[in-house]
Chains A and B, each alone.
Chain A
Amino acid sequence: MKTKKFILLLTFIFTGTLLFAVKPEKVRSLSLGLGLGQNSRQDLIFSPFVHHEFSLLNGTINYSIHGRFFQQVKIGIATFDPMLKEPYNYSEDGEVKTAAPHYLLYLDLDYLLGKKIKKTGKTDLTVGGMLGTNTQSLNYVYGRIGYFGYFSAINLGMFGQFGIPTQNGNGVFFKLQLPFVSWLARSPYLVNDDEFIENISSHSGIKTFFAFLKDGKPATWNTVQQVDAEVKYLFSLTSKWGMGISGAYEFTRASQPRLLNSHRTSVNVSATLKF
């Protein structure tokens, strides 16, 4: 019953914010960012070790509307293939094989809705609500065997953006996102229990994904902590086109069923189209 109420609350708030957000007079921008990522992750479900990795596969797509209200839809994707040591060869039944790295895929989808609440001189402050997902698809490889795992949080929280704008949406911006409540689905305590096996027994990727989500639980700040911070500098090339450089940090910590600590940073260069 608590679960149903939680879902209802999320739906109500999200629908409400969407309806509330439909207002005229806007400047829209679409930007594509690509760059470097760095990840440090310790997930005791899969390993007691911290896995560090740099990656070139790190990107974002941002669609923003600046009007009476600020709205933003952001998709972020990053992949990492960490390994404690360098890949090495071993043999099994006379066949030489190579121990492959783990493979981690991070996928974020965020919707922000806010309003500029303070504008003084050269700075402004925008605050609002956020609805987003923090999904981590995990393939931990242990030499001859590998296992799928997942972390998926559907989050509801707040964001704040402090800006030092110049004109036409350019300037320096610092944004902080803080989810407060989540619907959290994670791999079980030891990777692979009966519930997990039942969830994959449909042999359908989509059904499995929703089965994992269904097995999630409501979580608050005391069991899952997430912080997203971003600083970016935007400047115009023409009246329509702009460029930007941004640095982002994502922190995820969850205590159930086993401790997860994940720190991810990225530096992206982006191209922006304003319309």
Chain B
Amino acid sequence: MLNIMEVHETNQMIEQEKLDVRTITMGISLLDCISDDVDTVCEKIYTKITTYAKDLIKVGEEIERDYGIPIVNKRISVTPISLIGASACRTTDDYVKICQTLDSAAKTVGVNFLGGFSALVSKGMTPSEELLIRSLPKALSSTDFVCASVNVGSTRTGLDMDAIALMGSVIREVSEATADTDSLGNAKLVVFCNAPDDNPFMAGAFHGVTEGDAVINVGVSGPGVVSRALDEAKGKDFEFLCETIKRTAFKITRVGQLVAQEASARLGIPFGIIDLSLAPTPAVGDSVGEILEKIGLSQVGGPGTTAALAMLNDQVKKGGIMASSYVGGLSGAFIPVSEDKNMIDAAVSGNLTIEKLEAMTCVCSVGLDMIAIPGDTSAATISGIIADEAAIGMINQKTTAVRVIPVIGKKVGDMAEFGGLLGRAPIMPVNTSDCSEFVYRGGHIPAPVHSFKN
């Protein structure tokens, strides 16, 4: 029988330590919406999404009430649109039209983000995929809730340098197209290497082509819970510290598993995976940076940060894997600068640099995330940053990503304000030494030697 202390612990996690289910994301395959006429594609997409996801919000709210656990976001991911639009889209405006259809479907069902306006170009781009990428500035500036991602490399295929070169200039164009909102468009655009097919978190969520017709993936979070648990580990050795993180991750994941199974049963859609990621929010106490500081750093970004993050990420995965048989997605610690109060502080004080963040991405679950850079950063420099990050993913057989935001009209020392969960970010200095000769060579970087495992 449950005892009162256990019940108290759970409710304290929810009420005071901000334990929540960060997202229920319904993955929907749009492969059966393909047509050679763009209006037909749009109509089929709208009908399928609004049919499959019509009860998503209602069911999410019911589960919140039944278990007393907040479910912060209800979202949708769809098949990468470059595949769906390939035979219908002749111009970038055709892709913009599909993007706007996705946006209106998202608004109809009431979700706050829809991911999958994506192209998977890890070895090369088809003309259609290139069209989608070139449509991004207009697509992202004329919609509110659609998130886009481009996978530019993988361990198996190497890096598509043509796509990386193109993304540098596209990111600049997206910034310019959304200059009046601190270039917010780029908060909805991620460049991946080794993108997972089942990630429920935005902006990088899409419904992989290997997935079924529809699936429920759940993202659980809880930096606040881990942070609070670490208060008990103060002054103790690493064994105690690791055990504390692992136990906490286990408990958090079990809640996610429950919510995922309930959502799956109530919606009549198969359960896919739980993604246990420590995803910070700008709220005080909901910070991955704070966890690293409790582990023993005076401020995140200093020496020891990478090791502390590596340990944190690993313990989170170990606890999560024990708690659910279907852990997937990114599962680990997120380090989005603008969404994490302690990281914002460290960036403002100059203790956290892009170079240190790059090192941190070698050991955490994602990449350079929500980093505001000067508005005059060149396209080649952005491509160079993407290439570096993608290379880390390719060689280390892990997912890496870049979500940098060149904020038009702002320079180092200014702040960019994105609002809500996306937070605020200091403009961070970027190494501007020229890499254009490297970036614009053309072609692709071959797959690394450890991809040959056949």
Are A and B bound to each other? Answer: no
- Residues of B at the A interface (CB closer than 8 Å) are none
